[in-house]
Amino acid sequence: MSELTVFNTLTRKLEKFEPVKPDRVRMYVCGPTVYGDSHLGHAKSYISFDLVNRWLKVSGFNPLYVQNITDVGHLVGDAEEGEDKIQKLSKETASEPMAIAEGFTRSYFEDMDRLNILRPHISPRATGHIPEQIEMIQNLIAKGIAYESNGSVYFDVKKFPGYGKLSGRKTDELLEGVRVEIHEDKKNPLDFALWKKAEPNHLMRWNSPWGVGFPGWHIECSAMSMKYLGESFDIHGGGLENQFPHHECEIAQSEAATGKPFVKYWLHNNMVTVNGEKMGKSKGNFILVKDLVKTYDPMVIRFLVLSSHYRSPIDFSAEGLTSAQNGYERLMNVVGPILKFETAGRNELTLPAIRNWFMEFSEAMNDDFNSPRALAVLFNVVKALNTNPEYLVDPAVREELPVFFKLTAGEVLGLLPETRSGKSFEKELETAMNLILELRTGFRQEKNWAKSDLIRDRLTAGGLLIEDGKEGSRWKIKTNS
């Protein structure tokens, strides 16, 4: 069995994965800012880290997965002076800011559930951890690394020599950047806010040792990750675009506060484009998960995301989605019926051929979560089974194959939601469909094509496909209905 290797942004190398503490792997992933419905960017990012979480679990690393919910809106427009995003919506819709944040938080979980993303073990809210953030800021001030200025608190970047080590930037180069603006409260233009003074009209506000205000953008992730995972933990994940400044600032404030290494492995997923263009508000090409699942099975979206590596960008187009849909159907045409086989209580892989397939699958996953390769292994299995149908006659094979697919396609890749693997009303539906097919077979034997086709057409229209084969007819649920 191969060992897990991961690409660490900090070293820009593939590294052997060794947990900080042997008992379990601790992982933090930057969660959404809940001021809108989830889009495809969220889908890719959270499917990617769901895959990481699932593979860690299956390979026995016992992951503890924390993902924040950012419900302090942060700012719209220019970094320091803009309006809080949630505040903006609150004014427009005359609702409580917290009600808006709560609404989008629920919407986020709904969307992620549909994509069969396992919920993180802890989903801490930024607004629920204001005392922790204040405490951390006080600590930084006490150490002389942060300073108060006019009711706000800033991190003194010059006091942290490692600033820039994640994103490969040097502070003097950053200063030459065209867009760094001079800010009168800051000692240095690169200094970033830990705490912001609230203007009188600012809705989300808390008392602090420095007056009424609200936390800076980066501090919540440091405070909450360390609260639940400890001062040094294994994995920190997030989107590539957060490398700088967000993650860079997290490292600075955390390591300055504790004097210990913050995170061992930094994992970053690549971005989503739509028809070749970056998805962005300015382009007006945001695709929401809620809209896409009206047309496509959520598993098709998941399949598409998994068919490219998490560190590669992915382009969403109608053509790509159709291609993914056909591929997913091909996989399910074989896997679906096998899942119905009786496993007779079997839960281990013992047969050499199946063990070998699982080994190939594991090697792909251990290679920095290479899901496209893992999927290719499954397709090779599908091909092998289709080419050698006699293999499926063996009772041991029939018992063990469902175990194999539930583990690989199900537990690891998350492509088999409960409704497909035997929960809900599947048993009852099965009984009814078997009866219908039995009657229809009678019509077919009488060569009553009119009636047999009527049955098939009506079922097809209702989303149930009938396929007539040599060994009788079978049915399945349409992926795209």
By the rule CB under 7 A, 165 interacts with RNA? no
Is 382 near RNA (CB under 7 A)? yes
- Candidate residues 141, 145, 226, 314; the one interacting with RNA per rule CB under 7 A: 314
> Which listed range, 51-59, 123-131, 204-212, 308-316, lies at the site for RNA (CB under 7 A)?
308-316
Residue from 172, 176, 133 nearest 155 by CA: 133
In one-letter notation, the amino acid at residue 348 is E
In DSSP terms, which residues pair with 241 in a beta bridge?
Answer: none
Among 12, 16, 294, 427, binds RNA (CB under 7 A): 12
Distance CA 242, CA 247 (A): 6
Instruction: Assess 453 for contact with RNA (CB under 7 A).
Output: yes
Task: Tell me which of 24, 159, 227, 330 binds RNA, using CB under 7 A.
Answer: 330
Q: Which of 212, 271, 288, 436 binds RNA (CB under 7 A)?
A: 271
Task: Pick between residue 54 and residue 218 the one whose CB is nearest to RNA.
Answer: 218
Smaller CB distance to RNA: residue 5 or 149?
Answer: 5
Of 192 and 233, the one with the shorter C-beta distance to RNA is 192
SS (H, E, C) 277-319: EECCCCCCCCCEHHHHHHHCCHHHHHHHHHCCCCCCCEEECHH
Among 19, 41, 63, 298, binds RNA (CB under 7 A): 41
Site string for RNA, 212-251 (x = CB under 7 A): -----x--------------------xxxxxxxxx-----
Q: Angle 165-155-245 (CA atoms, 0-180°, nearest 5)?
A: 45
- Minimum CB separation of residue 366 from RNA in Å reads 11
Q: Residue 125 interacts with RNA (CB under 7 A)?
A: no
SS3 101: helix
Give CA–CA dist 323/303, Å, rounded: 10
**Residue from 26, 42, 196, 197 in contact with RNA (CB under 7 A):** 42
402 binds RNA (CB under 7 A): no
Of 211, 313, 336, 422, the one binding RNA by CB under 7 A: 313
Identify which of residues 24 and 476 has a Cβ nearer to RNA in the complex. Answer: 476
Residue with tokens 């009168």: 184
d(CA 136, CA 153): 12
333 binds RNA (CB under 7 A): yes
Nearer to RNA, 20 or 416 (CB): 416
Minimum Å gap between C-beta 175 and RNA is: 10
Q: Are strands 314-316 and 272-274 parallel, antiparallel or unpaired?
A: parallel
Secondary element (H or E) of residue 192: strand 192-197
Residue 74 found at the interface with RNA (CB under 7 A): yes
Q: Which residues between 176 and 195 bind RNA (CB under 7 A)?
A: 176-180
One-character DSSP codes across 218-283:
THHHHHHHHHHH-SSEEEEEEEGGGIIIIIHHHHHHHHHHHSS--EEEEEEE--EEETTEE--TTT
Q: Is 212 exposed, middle or buried (0-12, 13-18, 19+ CB in 10 A)?
A: middle
| Residue 20 or 292 having the CB closest to RNA | 292
- Closer to RNA by Cβ: residue 42 or 125: 42
Rounded Cα distance between 293 and 150, Å, is 48
Is 66 near RNA (CB under 7 A)?
A: no
